[in-house]
């Protein structure tokens, strides 16, 4: 039976999904199959996780949870979901510096796609990776640490370098957070006070439909050891709990109204036991350098009439720069412009080139796990280490075990040299 991604917009082409129960089994599967891809919790909207061969889930690998209190790191099983990891960390007195809007995703899947939360001083979730253990194309085990050659290229891997079995993450001491929400922030305030708004709390998210008035909600997540946000320019403090999507019951969201709680129970917008966001949706996201963010926001707003009928909600967040080659926030502090679309695949696909054209002047970098139609030329311009990553992938995976159609397109590949592992039905062209 074919497996789909969480959204249901993509049916994977894999012939089977294996759930190895040991690293040795992972090694055997990888060494034996011509085409392999690791599969996380399937929350990516793009076909980044697809393969025409065998999917390997790391969810059944033996539980790994090793805290190194001196180094302030934890080593965890790659397939662990954030929602399963966080309470254990909190009990040990530690925290991750940030989380995405949902705790349902796997540690390795989040890292492989450059997934992020929000906060001027918060890098992507991948920026916390201090080490990786993986199984490479020949079935060998490889362990790499921050500081090793090419480590910065191996973290946001798009699943193209091997099956990661364990991830070592930097920790910070556990902390508490309160969420204070605001309604109806005028665009004029966004333009005049952008830096003050995003610096007002540890993590800030603005939700909008890009209409004339301005973001309908601003979520501020303040550490309780820092002053909370009590006023926010022309916005009004929310007096009831809210869902980012207007009119939806806020039951699935994390506690608001200034109620303090553990970091893991406030940094995500949504709770593990509920369907995150709208459920029936597609997503796209571009990260632009912070210095051009207001112009990029204006460019998106100018698309309003064509964009709004497709949109459920949009979110504006900030992410600190990191050193990782394929991270959307590589080397530059960024503002992320996120779009949650109605689940109308043909209409969204027809619109995506206009969005890409509007954001191209800002060197916008698309989120690998979401939907976009950026040309390989634009991707190469936006991601200056893309060719270095391709060379790294060719070196670690010379037989193309972990290649797939989408990453081949992104990397500007034309086919397997000599087609050593090309499968019947593959649409890849042959290099001459």
Residues lying near ligand FAD in the complex (CB under 6 A) are found at: 6, 37-44, 48-49, 58, 78, 100-102, 105-106, 108-110, 112-113, 115-116, 158-159, 163-164, 276-277, 283, 367, 369
* Residue 222, beta-bridge partner list: 178
What is the C-alpha to C-alpha distance for residues 113 and 72, in angstroms, rounded to an integer?
24
User: Measured from the CB of residue 425, what is the shortest distance to ligand FAD in angstroms?
Assistant: 20
Which residue number, 163 or 245, has a Cβ lying nearer to ligand FAD? Answer: 163
Which residue number, 45 or 428, has a Cβ lying nearer to ligand FAD? Answer: 45
What is the C-alpha to C-alpha distance for residues 89 and 69, in angstroms, rounded to an integer?
11
Write down the residue that tokens 């009119």 correspond to.
247
User: Measured from the CB of residue 88, what is the shortest distance to ligand FAD in angstroms?
Assistant: 18
What is the C-alpha to C-alpha distance for residues 392 and 241, in angstroms, rounded to an integer?
47
* Residue 172, beta-bridge partner list: 95
Which residue number, 53 or 109, has a Cβ lying nearer to ligand FAD? Answer: 109
User: Measured from the CB of residue 283, what is the shortest distance to ligand FAD in angstroms?
Assistant: 6
Which residue number, 200 or 329, has a Cβ lying nearer to ligand FAD? Answer: 329
What is the C-alpha to C-alpha distance for residues 169 and 176, in angstroms, rounded to an integer?
20
User: Measured from the CB of residue 221, what is the shortest distance to ligand FAD in angstroms?
Assistant: 13
User: Measured from the CB of residue 401, what is the shortest distance to ligand FAD in angstroms?
Assistant: 12
Residue 207 near residue 218 (C-beta atoms within 8 A): yes
Residue 83 near residue 110 (C-beta atoms within 8 A): no
Residue 329 near residue 116 (C-beta atoms within 8 A): yes
Maximal CA-CA distance, the chain = 65
Which residue number, 101 or 168, has a Cβ lying nearer to ligand FAD? Answer: 101
What is the C-alpha to C-alpha distance for residues 354 and 356, in angstroms, rounded to an integer?
5
Burial of 67 (0-12, 13-18, 19+ CB in 10 A): middle
Where would I find the beta strands (DSSP E) of 158-307?
163-170, 172-173, 176-183, 203-208, 217-223, 236-237, 261-262, 281-289
Which residue number, 6 or 94, has a Cβ lying nearer to ligand FAD? Answer: 6
- The tokens for 250 are 């806020």
What is the C-alpha to C-alpha distance for residues 96 and 85, in angstroms, rounded to an integer?
10
User: Measured from the CB of residue 120, what is the shortest distance to ligand FAD in angstroms?
Assistant: 16
- The tokens for 220 are 């501020």
Residue 218 DSSP class: E
**Start-end of H helices in 275-344:** 293-301, 304-307
User: Measured from the CB of residue 131, what is the shortest distance to ligand FAD in angstroms?
Assistant: 14
Which residue number, 74 or 108, has a Cβ lying nearer to ligand FAD? Answer: 108
User: Measured from the CB of residue 212, what is the shortest distance to ligand FAD in angstroms?
Assistant: 26
User: Measured from the CB of residue 109, what is the shortest distance to ligand FAD in angstroms?
Assistant: 2
Which residue number, 159 or 214, has a Cβ lying nearer to ligand FAD? Answer: 159
Angle made by CA atoms 210, 220, 128, in degrees to the nearest 5: 100
For 275, residues 6+ apart whose C-beta sits below 8 A from its C-beta are 252
Which residue number, 187 or 325, has a Cβ lying nearer to ligand FAD? Answer: 325
What is the C-alpha to C-alpha distance for residues 13 and 137, in angstroms, rounded to an integer?
20
User: Measured from the CB of residue 394, what is the shortest distance to ligand FAD in angstroms?
Assistant: 17
Which residue number, 165 or 200, has a Cβ lying nearer to ligand FAD? Answer: 165
């Amino acid at each position: 039976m074919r497996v789909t991604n969480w959204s249901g917009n993509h049916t994977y082409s894999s012939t089977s999904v294996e759930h190895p129960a040991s690293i040795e089994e992972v090694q055997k599967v990888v060494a034996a199959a011509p085409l392999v891809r690791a599969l996380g919790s399937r929350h990516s909207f793009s076909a980044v996780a697809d393969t025409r061969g065998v999917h390997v889930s790391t969810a059944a690998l033996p539980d790994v949870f090793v805290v190194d209190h001196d180094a302030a790191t934890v080593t965890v099983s790659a397939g662990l979901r954030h929602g399963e990891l966080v309470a254990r960390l909190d009990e040990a007195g530690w925290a991750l510096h940030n989380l995405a809007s949902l705790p349902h995703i796997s540690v390795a899947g989040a890292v492989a796609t450059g997934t992020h939360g929000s906060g001027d001083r918060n890098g992507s979730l991948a920026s916390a990776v201090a080490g990786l253990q993986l199984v490479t194309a020949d079935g060998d085990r490889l362990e790499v640490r921050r500081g090793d050659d090419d480590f910065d290229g191996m973290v946001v891997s798009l699943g193209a370098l091997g099956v990661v079995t364990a991830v070592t993450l930097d920790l910070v001491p556990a902390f508490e957070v309160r969420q204070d929400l605001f309604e109806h922030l005028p665009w004029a305030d966004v333009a005049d006070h952008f830096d003050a708004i995003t610096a007002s709390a540890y993590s800030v998210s603005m939700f909008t439909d890009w209409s004339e008035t301005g973001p309908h909600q601003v979520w501020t997540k303040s550490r309780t050891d820092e002053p909370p946000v009590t006023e926010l320019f022309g916005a009004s403090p929310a007096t009831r709990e809210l869902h980012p999507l207007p009119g939806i019951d806020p039951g699935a969201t994390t506690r608001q109204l200034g109620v303090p709680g553990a970091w893991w129970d406030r940094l995500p917008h949504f709770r593990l036991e509920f369907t995150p966001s709208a459920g029936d949706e597609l997503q796209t996201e571009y990260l632009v350098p912070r210095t051009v963010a207001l112009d990029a926001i204006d460019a998106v707003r100018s698309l309003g009439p064509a964009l709004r009928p497709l949109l459920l909600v949009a979110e504006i967040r900030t992410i600190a720069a990191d050193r990782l080659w394929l991270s959307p926030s590589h080397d530059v502090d960024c503002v992320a412009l996120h779009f949650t679309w109605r689940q109308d695949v043909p209409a969204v696909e027809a619109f995506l080139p206009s969005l890409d054209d509007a954001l191209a002047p800002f060197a916008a970098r698309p989120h690998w796990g979401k939907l976009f139609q950026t040309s390989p030329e634009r991707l190469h311009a936006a991601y200056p280490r893309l060719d270095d990553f391709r060379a790294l992938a060719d070196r670690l995976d010379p037989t193309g075990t972990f290649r797939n159609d989408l990453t081949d397109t992104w990397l500007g590949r034309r086919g397997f040299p000599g087609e050593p592992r090309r499968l019947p039905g593959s649409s890849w062209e042959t290099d001459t």
